[in-house]
Amino acid sequence: MSVQAAVRRHAPDYGLLTTVLTLLIVGLIFVYSSSYVFAEVEYGDPNHFIKRQMMFAVLGLIGLVAVMQLDYRYLRRLSPLLMLGALFGLAAVLMPGVGVESNGALRWIQIGPLPPVQPSEFAKLAVLIYMAAWLASRGDALHNFSLGVLPFIGMVGLVGALIMLEPDLGTTVMIAVITGTLFFIAGARLIHVMALAGSGVVMGTLLILTGGYRMDRILSFTSAESDPTGVGFQTLQLLVAFGSGGVWGLGLGVSRQKFFYVPGSHTDGVLAIIGEEIGFVGVLVVLALFFMLFWRAWLIMRRAPDVFGSLIAAGVLAWFAFQLLLNVGGVTRLIPLTGIPLPLLSAGGSSLMVSLVAIGLLLSVSRYAAFTPEPEKPRGVRRRPFVSAAGARS
């Protein structure tokens, strides 16, 4: 009997599902707590943002359940269509009369009375699935510069170029990190990965130096105190929020910084409001939930029945882990602010919905996780030793 036949569909990873639902509930609580003041002043409705967030949460949960029930291996055949759809959505944003501009960026599409959606968020998931399918089929060709590296650069570069035209450096960096992680795990030569990473750092530095608002973020990191009411305002107020909360916090709903002191308090600054209201202990609990999510994703990656499933799980793990790193590092002034939202917690309909669908994809892989010896590894693909549910190596 083949290994493929021996791997039967079973229950999803309920530990992962419980963790994600807990984070979602925490996110909804703090999106409301951090946004009702701004929503009342700007829209005359204190529930404006929480109603939108709950709508997208419901749509995301429907997508999570639907994808979780699906055999993820079918997506391998659909991956070219998903990639074409992502490219079409990114191009549509740039079309006059179709894209919606906000704060100098052209990143959204609005259809009728529905809230605007951000195609670049959907592109992250489509690119992940496409690259996982493509890399899983390459084998030793990944070692070849013309057959492996150049096509990889071309595909990722096309998506990145369309996103940078919006412009959106943060999402471009996220896609580069996700696909770069997959490229390395799939068996690419280390020298090629290092060359791509180095060129990405150089390009990112040039973009920062040539973009005024990007340079402001660097200055807000390095010298916020020299302009506390200008470029340093957001950085300093985020730190004030954390400091005000202390160990145990001021109490749920009692934040003072959300009264127009922290710009984006309900989006990329939501962790600061969490720290102010439920303190350092509350922030640690939130981070512990994320690390539980990463641990379950790691187990799913190791136990996936095929290379495609392993790459899917690795991509989702890299996505959430790096997005958490950028957000937490930015709001705590360990790195410059990037505007990247906190997964599952920050306000943002497209981000929340796509994140939940990505979790559904991870749960789909978990339903076929190998509890028998794993398949023979394809040539050119790195795989770690299989670890059974009991922890025994085979």
* pLDDT averaged per 10 residues in sequence order, the chain, 394 residues: 54 95 97 94 94 96 96 94 93 81 73 78 94 88 78 88 84 90 86 80 70 72 84 91 94 92 92 96 97 96 93 96 95 89 93 96 90 47 42 38
Residues 6+ positions from 330 with CB-CB distance below 8 Å? 268, 336, 337, 338, 339, 340
Which pLDDT value is given to residue 198?
Answer: 81
What does the block give as tokens for 24? 């979602």
What does the block give as tokens for 39? 């929503």
Check residue 257 and report its DSSP letter.
T
Which pLDDT value is given to residue 7?
Answer: 58
What does the block give as tokens for 147? 């057959």
Which pLDDT value is given to residue 372?
Answer: 44
> Measured on CA atoms in the order 290, 296, 302, 306, is the torsion positive or negative?
negative
Whether 291 and 324 have beta carbons less than 8 Å apart is answered as no
Q: Which of 98, 230, 237, 119 is nearest to 168 (CA)?
A: 119
Cα gap 161→135, rounded to integer Å = 21
Cα gap 91→84, rounded to integer Å = 11
Angle at CA of residue 317, ends 316 and 321, nearest 5°: 120
Cα gap 168→165, rounded to integer Å = 7
Residues 6+ positions from 178 with CB-CB distance below 8 Å? 124, 127, 128, 131, 315, 318, 319, 322
Q: Which residue has the tokens 């429907």?
A: 62
Cα gap 127→175, rounded to integer Å = 8
pTM, whole model, 2 decimals?
0.88
Q: What torsion, rounded to 10 degrees, do the Cα atoms 107, 111, 114, 117 define?
A: -20
Which pLDDT value is given to residue 104?
Answer: 63
User: Residue 109's beta-bridge partner residues?
Assistant: 99, 117
Cα distance between the two ends of the chain: 18
The beta strands (E) that lie in the chain are given as: 99-102, 105-109
Q: Which of 122, 124, 136 is nearest to 319 (CA)?
A: 124
CA distances from 189 to 135, 148, 384 (A): 13, 10, 17
